[in-house]
Structure 1
Amino acid sequence: MNSVTETAGGEVFDEMPQEKKARTDAGGEDPRGSSWAGLQPDALGVVLSFLTCLADRARVRSVCRQWRAAARGRGVVPPLPLLVLPRFRFAGLTPGGVLAPARRAWMPPELDADNACCVGSSDAWLMGAGQAGGECFLVHAFSHEVRRLPPLGTSDCSLRKAVLSASPESGPNCIVAAFIIRWSKPELALWRSGMKSWRVCHHALFAGHIDIAFYQGKLYMLWRFTPCLFTFEITEDERGVAISRMKDCMIEKLLPSAVGSNHELSCNMVEWSGRLLLIIRYYGGYGYQARHRVKVKVFAMDLSTRTELRLTEIHSFGSDCIFVGSGGGKSFPAGQHDGVEGDLIYFGPDHYNPHDAFVYSMRDGRTGPIVRPSPCGTRASERNLGFPVWLFPSE
């Protein structure tokens, strides 16, 4: 199989044509390929074991329902993470730890992907939103299944970031928390399957630069540049899900003063090994053009007590890697891939500094580039379409 096929419209991630093939039943099988459905699962497993390219494995799973079922649990090494760029272009992470040139992904034409922004991900699902209060949707990056969400409702409302409590396939267990800007004010919107509209939450503490994450049934909001953590309980009433019982903590007071003083910093949250991590980038000086990287610190946040937050510094992830980006972060089992090392943190470009993409080693504090050449699509014409979001497809 060829890893990509180039069309007149540019490079695509898989070889699906821009007009999708007709589907004949709910399983999506094409009668012209139905004879292949009888291939023994063990034989298909042997084929899969030789396919190291994510695009090739995605094509195998998309042939028919039987192949999709047979591909599950075949002991195939999980694919490496992808970076989803504006206009739904994918840049694959190579075993050498750098990003390959971006390739356009096929998306269902009814989504108008060229004018939608990707604002979050969960496994192989992407969260997208149209511009100026347009449609919101979830789309599976490889099966191309689409699930519609209510529109934001007004032309002066934009969705900046979204996180999911679980995979959309889990039904009512999946709650979407979206950070939106409406009438020039930051707000938080919640949605769950069955709700006909978003539940918009107003609070004076919602800031323009935040990171949000679900963890152990609660929603956490972190100020990016002045470390302060807010915890919200998830409740439910006749209108759907909502937040309540807020608790806040000024994390900055808990950080070592020798590292945090006189430095600009940027914070993110990532769940790793059952713990919620606080990842802080410390920069020397002020201003993106003049500053240089100083250090990255990682702390496990002990959230077990109601009275105070405790921080424990983490010095190693073992064989795991951590990926941090505009649409959230996730840990990844690097030890399952030849050429990919553990104890690395991959920082993707984000809304606030699109050029600040690098990899950081927890072992020796060294940094290196992950973009060669830059695939970030941060031209002025694309900045309103969001910034790259990490995608973590699973077999």
Structure 2
Amino acid sequence: MAATPAPTVRISADHARRLALRAQGLLGQPDRRAGARGVLRLLGAVQLDTISVLARSHELVPYARLGAVGRRPVEEAYWGHGTAFEFWSHAACILPIEEWPLFAFRRRANRAKGRVWGHPVSEQVYAQVVDQLRAEGPLTSTGLGGAKKTAEWWDWSDTKIAVERALAFGDVVVTRRRGWKRVYDLAERAVPGELFEQDPSDAECLERLVAQAGAALGVATRADLMDYHRLKGAQVDAALPASGLVPVAVEGWSAPAWADPAALESEPRGRHRTTLLSPFDSLIWDRPRTERIFGMSHRLEAYTPKHKRVHGYFAMPLLAGGRLVGRVDPAREGATLVARQVSLDGPRSVPALAEALREAATWVGCSDVRVERLDDEALRPELEKLLG
């Protein structure tokens, strides 16, 4: 690890928390005119996941910041208009199309490895896939000849392996989905020419990605910066001096931190959002950072055996007043939003919970809300009164 310069600024843990909220679009007046596309550009990455409870996670992220934004505008902000693409960042993510050049370092590294997750594929099949896309235009893996050899999810066909390899190398890009299936196209055709032709060095890519992560996080440790786009420690260390981020000391944080200098120029104040957060939301997707900033130890339990779950299948943290004050495990039954399990910090958080549940219900087209398990049943009378 490179030597860390002495911090030029010292801030409180509370200030750091508010910087993080503002950087993530959850403190201050949201830019509704920019919509979901503006949220994507602000965050730099929105994680994708197949789980759909109230909605898929990539829909929940702009909802958390903008309120009941229409679901169609969210989809249009991501796919089909040349404004975004899919690639591996924090995980499988939607990224603003402007970031295409910044992931050249990862595409080059993938090409040097020559494989996709250990799967070999012949050059002949690879060439056939690229030629078919060139001749026929954008296609799903089914249109290319099939995604799987058997019904097993992992048993990819040679065609699927080849197109995913082409995606990892940058010969192919995904800029939209059809029925949740990736639609592949040639990068040279789908990526705007002025972006496709850029070829920044690995060092330039990493410097700009570290700067972008720092801006999206507000204030961050080295580990935070590594996690945002899943960079290696040595990559972050090399990029930090030219990133423009400045070293800061945060009260109570054991590790050195860096901040976006623009974020330090003004006090983070404004309207707080009251909302339920996807477990894959970039505000909380990093568990150590979430615990450090908000004091909440939170994990997704969807892949935990049911009898071992503590907070539920898709427990969504409740954000209110700039703090995480509870969790809700939601579901839908017809026109009813069901809170299968709810935990709260205390009675002061009941109005925020009722507000968040009502807004979420309206957004997904539910007219009623039902709370099943409430960890503190003494809070039920007030909650049901507010839910009315």
TM-score by length of 1: 0.24
Bigger RCO of structures 1 and 2 (CA < 8 A, at least 6 apart):
2
More strand by share: 1
More helix by share: 2
